[in-house]
C-alpha cells in the first residue's frame, strides 16, 4: 500500500492476470504509467486523490479520508472489480447499490 | 588470488566462496535439476546473471526499479504481538504487504473446520479494517485424516506391511473427508467476505493429498466464480504414495512443476505456487540454480500468475529459523530476474 501493490495483487488474485497484464490494467484505470505503480511518491498523490487508502502513521493520519472498507468501495469501482467484502458489506448494511450482485451469487 | 565473497549454505551457514567456486556451484545445481527432471539447464547468460548476484558482498540485493512483483503469503503477522487482526494490520501498514493471509496457528483445514464460525468471524472483522486483499489459508494435510488423528486407517503403517490395496483404499477415503472440509472452509470464508483462499503445501502427503486439493478447487470454483484460489505446492515432485491416482486423465505421481501447474489451472485456481525444497548439504548457489531450472518450464506456458514459494527451505532460501536478509533478497531477486515471475 505504499504504492499500488495491493491493487495489482487484487487483479492477480481475483482475475488471474499475469503481472504485466495486471500492471497495465491498474495503470490504465488509475490514469498513470505502469512505472508509476511502484513509485510511492507518485502513488501517494493518486491514492489520496482517488481515496484508495494509505499507510497511516502517528505523524500522518488521514481521518477525513477514506480508509479500509471505505477505500475498498472506491477500489472496486475504480478497477471495475467485484470485491467480495464490499458486496457483503453493502448487503448487510442495506445499501442498495450492490444488492443485485450478491443476490446473483448462490 | 581470487577474492572470496560471503555466501550462504543451504542450512544458512555463512561461508566464503570465490567467483569460480560460485560459478561451479551454479552449474552443478542446474545440471542436477536438468538431469533429474529432464528439463533444459539454465542458459549461459542466466548463469552469468546469477553469478553477478551471488558474487557480491552486499547485504541486500533487489530487482531493478519497475520490475517489482507482488507478494502473497502463507500467514501474515507473528501471532504473538497482538490479535490476529492487529497482526494483519501490521503486515499491511508497517511492512507494506500487497496482500495478507488470515490463518490459524493449527494451519490445517481439518483443524480449522472444527472452529470455523470463529475463523469466519475473524475474517469478517479483518475485512472491515484492512485495505489490502485478505486471503484465508491452511494446508490440505491429508495425513491428519489417518489414525490416530483421523478416521481412516493409517496408510503409512499399512505400506510397510505390504498391505498396498488397504493403504490405497485408506487414502481414497481420506480424500473424501478432506475435500468436504476444504470446501466447507472455503464456503464459510467466502460468506464472511474473504478475497480468496490459499491451499498451502498441496501434495505434502503425496498424490492423494494433491488430488484432494484439486477436487476441492474444482468444487469451490464452480460454487464461487469470483473467488481467488491459490494453490501452493509442498515440493517439486509429487510422491506416488498411492501411485495410481489421476486427475482429468493425468497420473499425479511423478509430476514436476510444469505439469503440476497445468492441472492446478485446469481445476480452476487463479494463482499457482511452485515449491522447490532446499538441500541443506549444498550451497545456496547450487540450490537457487536447481530451483530456477525446475520452475523455468512453467513460465513458457503459464496462463495464471505464478507465485513461486520463496521462504524457509524453499526457492533457494536456506532452511533456518531466522532467515538472513542477504540470502532471502538474492533468492527473491534471482527468481524474478530469471523466471519473470508474477509474484512470490
Q: Which residue's C-alpha cell is 532460501?
A: B317
Closest C-alpha among B188, B73, B181 to residue B121: B188
Cβ–Cβ of A12/B270 closer than 8 Å? yes
For residue B160, pLDDT over 90 is answered with yes
Are B292 and B319 in contact by the 8 Å Cβ rule? The answer is no
Please, which residues 276-305 of chain B have a Cβ atom closer than 8 Å to chain A? 302-305
Residue B119 pLDDT greater than 90, yes or no: yes
A11, containing H or E segment: helix A5-15
The answer to whether residues B95 and B116 belong to one domain is yes
Closest by CA to B232, choosing from B301, B305, B131, is B305
Q: Which of A5, A81, A102, A67 is nearest to B128 (CA)?
A: A67
Cβ proximity of B297 and B258 under 8 Å:
yes
Rounded to the nearest angstrom, the minimum Cα separation between A68 and chain B is 4
Q: What is the pLDDT of residue A104?
A: 41
**Among B125, B151, B152, CA closest to B136:** B125
The set of residues, in sequence order, having a beta carbon less than 8 Å from that of A50 and lying 6+ positions away, is A30, A74, A78
Q: Is the peptide bond between B148 and the residue preceding it cis, with omega within 30 degrees of 0?
A: yes
Q: Are B80 and B181 contained in the same domain?
A: yes
Q: Please indicate, yes or no, whether residues B31 and B180 belong to a single structural domain of this protein.
A: no
**Are residues B98 and A105, on separate chains, in Cβ contact within 8 Å?**
no
| Calculated CA dihedral for residues B220, B197, A46, A30, nearest 10 degrees | -30
Q: Which three cell numbers stand for residue B132?
A: 489490502
State the Cα–Cα distance between residues B154 and B323, nearest whole angstrom: 35
Residue B108 belongs to a domain with what CATH number? 3.20.20
- Mark whether B119 and B242 lie in a shared domain: yes
C-alpha cell at B200: 498451502
CB of B127 less than 8 A from some CB of A: yes
Same domain, B98 and B238: yes
Residues B335 and B319 occupy one common structural domain: yes
Quick check: is B305 in a domain?
Answer: no
Question: If you average pLDDT over every residue of chain B, what do you get?
Answer: 96
How many angstroms separate the Cα of A81 from the Cα of each of A86, B22, B117, B227? 10, 46, 27, 12
Dist. CA B292–CA A76, nearest whole Å: 36
Quickly count: other Cβ atoms within 10 Å of residue B133's Cβ.
31
pLDDT at A56: 84
Residue B7 lies in a domain: yes
- pLDDT confidence of B82, banded at 50, 70, 90? confident
B142 with B110, same domain?
yes
Average pLDDT over residues B333-342: 97
Q: Does residue B63 lie in a domain region?
A: no
Task: Tell me if B128 and A69 make a contact (CB, 8 A cut-off).
Answer: yes
Domain assignment present for residue B148? The answer is yes
**B132, B135, B341 ranked by CB distance to A6: nearest:** B132
Q: Is residue B198 located within the same domain as residue B209?
A: yes
Q: Where are the alpha helices (DSSP H) in chain B?
A: 19-37, 44-54, 84-89, 109-113, 116-129, 155-158, 164-192, 207-223, 257-267, 284-301, 325-339
| Residue B78 reports pLDDT greater than 70 | no
Are B190 and B224 in a shared domain?
yes
Residue linked to cell 477525513? A64
pTM confidence score = 0.94
Burial B239-252 (b: 16+ CB within 10 A, else e): bbbbbebebeeeeb
pLDDT at residue B77 above 80? no
Q: Are residues B100 and B209 in the same domain?
A: yes
Q: What is the per-residue pLDDT for A103?
A: 42
ipTM: 0.94
| Whether residues B116 and B255 fall in one domain | yes
B98–A13: do the CB atoms touch at under 8 Å?
no
Nearest to B299 by CA among B42, B7, B61: B42
Q: Per residue of chain A (106 residues), give pLDDT as tens.
A: 899 999 999 999 999 999 999 999 999 999 999 999 999 999 999 999 999 999 887 677 888 899 999 999 999 999 999 999 999 999 999 986 544 444 444 3
Q: Classify residue B142 by its DSSP letter.
A: G
Residue pLDDT, tens place only, B293-313? 999 999 989 999 999 999 999
How far apart CA B282 and CA B289 sit, in angstroms, is: 11
Phi, psi of A28 (to 5 degrees): -65, -40
Tens of pLDDT, residue by residue over B125-137, are 999 999 999 999 9
pLDDT for B10-59, tens place per residue? 999 999 999 999 999 999 999 999 999 999 999 999 999 999 999 999 99
Nearest to B226 among A69, A71, A84 (CB): A84
CB B112 within 8 A of CB B101: no
Query: Does residue B93 belong to the interface with chain A, where contact is any CB pair within 8 Å?
Result: yes
Higher-pLDDT residue of A104 and B186 is B186
What is the domain extent for residue B85?
A: 71-273
**Residue A104 to residue A82: CA distance in whole angstroms:** 12
Q: What are phi and psi of B338, to 5 degrees?
A: -80, -45
Return d(Cα B212, Cα B142) in angstroms, integer.
Answer: 8
* Tally of structural domains, chain B: 2
Per-residue cell: B89: 494490520
Strand pairing class (B14-18; B4-8): antiparallel
Amino acid at each position: 500500500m505504499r504504492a499500488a501493490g495491493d491493487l495489482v495483487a487484487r487483479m492477480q488474485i481475483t482475475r488471474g492476470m499475469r503481472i504485466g497484464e495486471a500492471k497495465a490494467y491498474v495503470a490504465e484505470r488509475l490514469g498513470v504509467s505502469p512505472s508509476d505503480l511502484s513509485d510511492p511518491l507518485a502513488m501517494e498523490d493518486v491514492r489520496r486523490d482517488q481515496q484508495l487508502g494509505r499507510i497511516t502513521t502517528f505523524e500522518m493520519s488521514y481521518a477525513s479520508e477514506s480508509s479500509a472498507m471505505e477505500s475498498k468501495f472506491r477500489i472496486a469501482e475504480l478497477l471495475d472489480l467485484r470485491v467480495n467484502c464490499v458486496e457483503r458489506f453493502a448487503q448487510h448494511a442495506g445499501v442498495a447499490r450492490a444488492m443485485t450482485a450478491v443476490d446473483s451469487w448462490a | 588470488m581470487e577474492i572470496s565473497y560471503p555466501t550462504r549454505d543451504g542450512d544458512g551457514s555463512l561461508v566464503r566462496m570465490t567467483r569460480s567456486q560460485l560459478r561451479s556451484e551454479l552449474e552443478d545445481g542446474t545440471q542436477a535439476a536438468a538431469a533429474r527432471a529432464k528439463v533444459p539447464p539454465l542458459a549461459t547468460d542466466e548463469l552469468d546473471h546469477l553469478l553477478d548476484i551471488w558474487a557480491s558482498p552486499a547485504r541486500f540485493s533487489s530487482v531493478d526499479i519497475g520490475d517489482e512483483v507482488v507478494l502473497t503469503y502463507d500467514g501474515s503477522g507473528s501471532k504473538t504481538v497482538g490479535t490476529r487482526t492487529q497482526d494483519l494490520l501490521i503486515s499491511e501498514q508497517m511492512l507494506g504487504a500487497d496482500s495478507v493471509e488470515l490463518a490459524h496457528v493449527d494451519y490445517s483445514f481439518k483443524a480449522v473446520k472444527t472452529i470455523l464460525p470463529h475463523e469466519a468471524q475473524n475474517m469478517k472483522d479483518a475485512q472491515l479494517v484492512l485495505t489490502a486483499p485478505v486471503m484465508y489459508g491452511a494446508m490440505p494435510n491429508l495425513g491428519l485424516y489417518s489414525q490416530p488423528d483421523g478416521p481412516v486407517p493409517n496408510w503409512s503403517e499399512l505400506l510397510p506391511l505390504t498391505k498396498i490395496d488397504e493403504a490405497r483404499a485408506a487414502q481414497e477415503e481420506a480424500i473424501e473427508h478432506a475435500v468436504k472440509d476444504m470446501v466447507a472452509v472455503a464456503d464459510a470464508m467466502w460468506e464472511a467476505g474473504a478475497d480468496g483462499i490459499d491451499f498451502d503445501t498441496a501434495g505434502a502427503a503425496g498424490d492423494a493429498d494433491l488430488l484432494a486439493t484439486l477436487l476441492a478447487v474444482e468444487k469451490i470454483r464452480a460454487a464461487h466464480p469470483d473467488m481467488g484460489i491459490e494453490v501452493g505446492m509442498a515440493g517439486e515432485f509429487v510422491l506416488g504414495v498411492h501411485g495410481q491416482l489421476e486427475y482429468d486423465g493425468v497420473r499425479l505421481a511423478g509430476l514436476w512443476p510444469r505439469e503440476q501447474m497445468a492441472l492446478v489451472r485446469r481445476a480452476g485456481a487463479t494463482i499457482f505456487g511452485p515449491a522447490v525444497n532446499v538441500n541443506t548439504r549444498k550451497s545456496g548457489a547450487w540450490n537457487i540454480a536447481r530451483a530456477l531450472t525446475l520452475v523455468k518450464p512453467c513460465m513458457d506456458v503459464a496462463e495464471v500468475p505464478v507465485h513461486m514459494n520463496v521462504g524457509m527451505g524453499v526457492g533457494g532460501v536456506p532452511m533456518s529459523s531466522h532467515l538472513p536478509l542477504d540470502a532471502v533478497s538474492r533468492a527473491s531477486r534471482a527468481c524474478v530476474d530469471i523466471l519473470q515471475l508474477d509474484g512470490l
